[in-house]
């Protein structure tokens, strides 16, 4: 259940001191070109600032992956209505990596675009992964509560937490490699 998953994650993290930030050392879009190309190679269409998905509202949508159509959307922080791509922020790049992890989860459940997704890590593996990340107990707790408040299921919360932690600590090249590994045709 959600409560038992949260308790297990928090119990494991409570023994940890603050973990130093594990930066992905990829702060420009140039660092993400390979990831973009691999997504295209496996058949995922990536769009930036599509007005259908990136309408101006609060809270702003950062990005979304549509598993039935293979469409990955990034809504940049500094976009302006009617304009295309702008300079990428750290959050934009983090969003791109996060949504790419959802593509890996799509492939982990079977063929791309079948609408089915599974996390890459089981619960125990996710906890170990979080332990090596920059995520603190408080940060995981806040994310968990926010996701639960949105009405997500246990599985959806697991997949979102996995995507957030992967995006913050794994390089775009490593994510590209996993895409090729998980999404072989």
- What CA–CA distance (Å, rounded) separates 27 from 92? 10
Q: For the ranges 44-53, 78-87, 150-159, which has the lowest average pLDDT? A: 78-87
| Cβ-contact 13, 130 below 8 angstroms | yes
Task: Note the residue count of the chain.
Answer: 185
pLDDT, tens digit (0-9, with 9 covering 90-100), for 9-32: 444 333 333 333 344 556 899 999
- What CA–CA distance (Å, rounded) separates 8 from 122? 13
| Cβ-contact 104, 70 below 8 angstroms | no
Query: pTM of this prediction?
Result: 0.85
| Cβ-contact 63, 74 below 8 angstroms | yes
Peptide bond connecting 175 to the previous residue in cis, omega within 30 degrees of 0: no
pLDDT at 81: 77
pLDDT, tens digit (0-9, with 9 covering 90-100), for 139-156: 999 999 999 999 999 999
Q: Is the pLDDT of residue 70 over 80?
A: yes
- Residues whose CB falls within 8 Å of the CB of residue 18, separated by 6 or more in sequence, listed in order: 136
């Amino acid at each position: 259940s959600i409560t038992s998953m949260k308790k297990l994650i928090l119990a494991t993290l409570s023994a940890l001191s603050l973990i130093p930030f594990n930066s992905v050392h990829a702060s420009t879009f140039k660092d993400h070109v390979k990831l973009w190309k691999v997504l295209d190679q496996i058949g995922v269409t990536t769009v930036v600032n599509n007005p259908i998905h990136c309408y101006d509202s609060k809270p702003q949508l950062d990005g979304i992956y549509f598993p039935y159509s293979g469409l990955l959307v990034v809504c940049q922080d500094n976009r302006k209505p009617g304009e295309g791509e702008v300079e990428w922020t750290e959050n934009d790049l983090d969003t791109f990596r996060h949504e790419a992890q959802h593509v890996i989860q799509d492939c982990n459940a079977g063929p791309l675009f079948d609408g089915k997704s599974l996390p890459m890590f089981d619960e125990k593996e996710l906890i170990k992964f979080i332990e090596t990340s920059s995520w603190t107990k408080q940060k995981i707790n806040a994310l968990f509560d926010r996701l639960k408040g949105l009405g997500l299921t246990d599985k959806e919360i697991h997949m979102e937490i996995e995507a957030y932690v992967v995006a913050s600590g794994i390089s775009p090249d490593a994510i590209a490699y996993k895409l090729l590994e998980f999404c072989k045709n």
